[in-house]
Amino acid sequence: MKKLFLLAFLCFSVLSYSQTANAVIDKINAKLLAVKDYTVNANINANIPMIKIMPSNVKIYFKQKDKFKIESKGIVIVPKQGFTELNSFISNKSKYTAVFGENAVIRTIQTRLINIIPNEGAGDIVLAKIWVDVAKSVIMKSQITTLSNGTVNVDYTYGDQISRGLPSVMKFEIDVKKFKIPKSVASDINKSSADKKKASANQKTKGTITITLSNYKINTGLSDALFVKKKN
């Protein structure tokens, strides 16, 4: 009888924690889903090993649920994942189980870790972790591990759009596996074979892309045609 009582208590505890984590996610979802679409100016600053690119200004368009477009004058580099995947994933509660992890302080803000474990057949995401400012119902940090693209960490900073859950700065930390340069293309007269080997050994595997977002225009009724890819 004692054992049965203990088991019931444990089940109740886990269930109540799980519900609480889901409740936190619900609040985040409610905020995010209230934003049907937005247009925002962005400054993209990429600091990635083996890639030299100047910071560039672009315009980002987003429409629920996962329509996303970057409009730029020149070439810009953005993370392959991290913009829409997380929001899209957490909005469908049947796809995952959420459980609380430990507390953490991020930039003096008390946050709660929520581990989001995908249910079977949930797709590319293997594990998602989000650190949530429970008081304001916003994600302060996320870590998404996918089958296809490895792990991406994102730090979020909020400004005047915190009430809608839209960040003002997103800092992506990217795990760049050792890039391989085709030898036939990459002849370099300034480096000896020893220099090249040394450079290859010292190659960093982490990079960051900082996206500073400003001048949000929310719920302006963006057309679906805007997101149709044009052929060059």
Partner 1 sequence: MLLKNTYNEFIKIVAKPRSYLGFGALTLLIAIIIFAMKADGETIVSFITASFEQTLAFNGKLVNGNLIAFIILQMLVVHIPLLVALVTGDLISGEAAMGTVRMLATKPISRTQIVLSKFIAGAIYTLLLTIWLGFLSLFVSHLVFGAGDLIVLNSDGLVILQEADILWRFGLGFCVAFLALLTVATLSICLSAFAENSVGPIVSTMAIIILFTIIGSLDVTVFDTIKPYLFTTHMASWRSFFEDPVPYDSIYQSIIVLLVHIAVLIGITLYKFNKKDITS
Per CB under 8 A, residues contacting partner 1 are 48-54, 56, 58, 70, 72-80, 148-150, 152, 174-177, 179-183, 185-194, 196, 199, 232
Residue whose entry in the numeric block shows the structure tokens 């980002």: 60
Report the residue number, 23 or 54, with the smaller CB distance to partner 1.
54
Give me the amino acid identity at 123. Answer: G
Report the residue number, 160 or 175, with the smaller CB distance to partner 1.
175
Residue 200 beta carbon to partner 1: minimum distance, rounded to whole angstroms: 9
Report the residue number, 108 or 190, with the smaller CB distance to partner 1.
190
Report the residue number, 182 or 221, with the smaller CB distance to partner 1.
182
Q: How far is CA 104 from each of CA 111, 130, 142, 206, rounded to the nearest angstrom?
A: 5, 11, 13, 23
Which of 229, 228, 225, 224 shows the shortest CA–CA distance to 65?
A: 224
Tokens of 172: 């992506």
Residue 214 beta carbon to partner 1: minimum distance, rounded to whole angstroms: 19
Residue 177 beta carbon to partner 1: minimum distance, rounded to whole angstroms: 7
Residue 212 beta carbon to partner 1: minimum distance, rounded to whole angstroms: 17
Q: Do 153 and 143 contact (CB within 8 A), yes or no? A: yes
Report the residue number, 60 or 140, with the smaller CB distance to partner 1.
60
**Residue 4, exposed/middle/buried by CB under 10 A (0-12, 13-18, 19+)?**
exposed
Residue 89 beta carbon to partner 1: minimum distance, rounded to whole angstroms: 18
DSSP 145-160: EETTTEEEEEEEEE-T
Q: Do 84 and 62 contact (CB within 8 A), yes or no? A: yes
Report the residue number, 11 or 51, with the smaller CB distance to partner 1.
51
Q: Do 82 and 70 contact (CB within 8 A), yes or no? A: no
Residue 76 beta carbon to partner 1: minimum distance, rounded to whole angstroms: 5
Tokens of 98: 């959420």
Alpha carbon distance 160, 158 (integer Å)? 7
